[in-house]
Amino acid sequence: MDDVFSVESIYAELRGRAPETQMAPRLDAMRLAMDFLGDPAHSAPVIHVTGTNGKTSTARLIERLLLAHDLRPGRYTSPHLEKVNERICLDGEPVDDRTFVRVWDEIRPYLQMVDAHLAEQGEVPLTEFEAMTALAFAIFADAPVDVMVLEVGLGGAWDATNVADAQVSVVTPIDLDHVHMLGETVEEIAQEKSGIIKPEGFLVSAVQKPSVAEILLASARENDAEFRFEGVEFGVTERTPGVGGQVVTIQGLAGRYEDVALPLLGAHQAENASLAVAAVEAFLGGGDKELALDVVRVAFEEATSPGRLEVVRNAPVVVLDAAHNPHGIEASAQAVGEAFNIKQLNIVLGILSDKDARSMLDILRHHYAESEAFETRLYLTQSTSPRAIPVEELAELAVEAGFDEDALEVHERLDNATVAAISDAAAREELDAAVLITGSITVVGEARVLLGG
């Protein structure tokens, strides 16, 4: 071959393509790519996951359950924290570099032909996410896998992953996010996300706002799809938080799963687990077949969700949480207050410019700065992403949100902010001080590299 590829060079090439924000919603380009590649999007049945928060954690938990049933899953999620291979997983692990490079080398000429055809039609060539999704489908077909677990990149109906036909569609809680592209109301966003529900499929939904539930229900009925909602047909019935996680009892669609150890923090992760159980019950037995309790326990006992309330250090405790929108920050704050007995919390925070930073800061102030349980200090920073809010601007928003200027530190570099927050917490050992690094996924990913997470 003329080109010698590496994972890094492939990712650089992908990053050179247009982002989704620079094109109108479309699926024709992906359908054309699938035609050129032999339709790998239909090489295995699909469990498709959309929603606003909890998608990646839910997809990982579904994957664990499938593995415990001796199935070979392929999982596609985004974005990655440290290395692009994380987005495409086989057997629960990121695809190895050799396979990533080999399959890209095989499909690249076909994608270039698709690009040329699109250019002739006056359309934007395959975007970064479209090309990455095509690569994921090709890797899964090459493996091959028994089932694909696909997380939408953005929205649902027009997402590149939606060229696949889901046997089970999973919807995590829907809230406001990406309003410039998906709609300014939760109802508009729900309409977009309901587009992954396929004819004669199966919808499994988290608890939703009534207006959102109505939209999902209407879409399921229009598609003659079965539907089940958390809080009605399934859900968490008992939950006992503990050190390093929690013990939960889940009422599924077909069975009751008692005393299941879940090494993830927060009520929202318990809810993600119940959603995963219901999704796999729907996939394996149409919602009528109970899973073996010991299989569920084995599946969840080693569950991980990197960068989601992940403890990466002790003494002082350092927690990474990619809570990148108001809904995520709210869930994170409740989980931190429940999981850690601390008297001081140092928050390292960086946010991307397309997020509702002011609302996120309002939630942080309410849960932390106004808390009588512990003192809070905010270490404002920014990731290396070009979309990061400049730290000076973030500081102005924090003051507007009501944070005391004396409780703020501003660091242009994430490494400096992290060192300062950890050093201060270590010096206040008598206060049981902890560090929370949160905000954008890019901040958490870069911090994870710094701390060896």
Among candidate residues 64, 56, 73, 59, the one with its CA nearest the CA of residue 140: 73
Residues 6+ apart with CB under 8 A from 54: 172, 173, 206, 268, 271, 272, 275
- Classify domain 7-301 at the CATH class level: alpha beta
Give the pLDDT score at 1: 41
pLDDT of residue 12: 95
Q: What kind and span of H or E run contains 299?
A: helix 293-301
Of 215, 271, 227, 281, which is closest to residue 248 (Cα–Cα)? 271
CB 247 within 8 A of CB 259: yes
Measured distance CA(242)–CA(42) in Å, rounded: 42
| Mean pLDDT, rounded, of the chain | 93
> What distance in Å separates the CA atoms of residue 65 and residue 73, rounded to the nearest whole number?
10
Task: Say what the pLDDT of residue 179 is.
Answer: 53
Q: Which of 418, 445, 414 is nearest to 316 (CA)?
A: 418
Q: Please state, in angstroms and rounded to a whole number, the distance separating the CA atoms of residues 417 and 236.
A: 38
CATH class of 310-451: alpha beta
pLDDT of residue 372: 72
Strand-pair partners of 375: 344
For residue 414, is pLDDT > 50?
yes
Q: What tokens does 46 get?
A: 């699909």
Domain residue spans of the chain: 7-301, 310-451
Cα–Cα distance for residue pair 377/347, rounded to 1 Å: 6
Beta bridge partners of 321: 438
Domains 7-301 and 310-451 share a fold: no
Query: What share of the chain in percent tops pLDDT 70?
Result: 96
Closest CA to 404 of 432, 429, 375, 382: 375
Nearest by Cα to 24 from 108, 166, 130: 130
198 vs 164: CA distance, rounded Å: 10
**pLDDT tens profile 270-303:** 999 999 999 999 999 999 999 999 999 999 998 9
What percent of the chain is modeled with pLDDT above 90?
A: 80
**Which pTM was predicted?**
0.93
Please tell me the distance from the alpha carbon of residue 313 to that of residue 451, in angstroms, as a whole number: 8
Average pLDDT over residues 363-389: 88
176-192 mean pLDDT: 76
Q: What is the pLDDT of residue 2?
A: 44
Confidence class for position 183, pLDDT limits 50, 70, 90? low
Residue 178 scores a pLDDT above 60: no
Residues paired with 350 in a beta bridge: 439
Average pLDDT of span 83-109: 97
For 150, the token pair is 């696909």
Give the model's pLDDT for residue 182. 66
